[in-house]
Amino acid sequence: DKGEFKHFMLKEIYEQPDVMAQVLEGRIASGHVLEQAFGVDAKRVFDQVKQVQIVACGTSYHAGMVAKYWFEELIGLPCMVEVASEFRYRSVVIREGTLLITLSQSGETADTLAALRDVKSQILASLSICNVPGSSLVRESDLCLMTNAGPEIGVASTKAFTSQLVALLLTCLVIGRRHGLSSEQEKQIVTDLQNLPTLTRAILDLDEPVKAMAEAFAEKHHALFLGRGALYPIALEGALKLKEISYIHAEGYPAGELKHGPLALVDKDMPVVTVAPNNEMLDKLKANLQEVRARGGELFVFAGCEQTLKSEEGMQVIALPACSKLMEPIVYTLPLQLLSYHVAVLKGTDVDQPRNLAKSVTVE
Ligand code: M6R
* Ligand 1, pocket-test mutation among 13, 106, 352, most atoms within 8 A of CB: 106
Q: DSSP letters along 239-260, please?
A: HHHHHHHH--EEEEEEGGGGGG
The tens digit of pLDDT for each residue in 134-182 reads 999 999 999 999 999 999 998 899 999 999 999 999 999 999 999 999 9
Query: CA nearest 135: which of 358, 362, 357, 352?
Result: 362
Q: Tell me how far the alpha carbon of residue 91 lies from the centroid of ligand 1, in angstroms.
A: 24
Which stretch of 54-58, 140-144, 281-285 has the lowest confidence by average pLDDT?
A: 281-285
Whether 223 contacts 250, CB under 8 Å: yes
Active-site choice (120, 187, 347, 359): 359
For ligand 1, what atom is nearest to the CA of residue 244?
16
pTM of the predicted model, to two decimals?
0.97
Q: What confidence category does residue 283 fall into, taking pLDDT thresholds of 50, 70 and 90?
A: confident
Q: What confidence category does residue 306 fall into, taking pLDDT thresholds of 50, 70 and 90?
A: low
Q: Strand 28-29 relative to strand 32-33: parallel, antiparallel, unpaired?
A: antiparallel
For ligand 1, what atom is nearest to the CA of residue 357?
14
Query: CA nearest 223: which of 210, 209, 242?
Result: 242
Q: How far is CA 322 from the centre of its chain?
A: 19
Whether 140 contacts 113, CB under 8 Å: yes
The tens digit of pLDDT for each residue in 349-364 reads 988 888 888 888 888 8
Rg, Å, the chain Cα set: 20
Whether 83 contacts 132, CB under 8 Å: no
pLDDT computed for residue 351 by the predictor:
86
3-state secondary structure of 333: helix
Distance from C-alpha of 251 to C-alpha of 17, rounded to nearest angstrom: 28
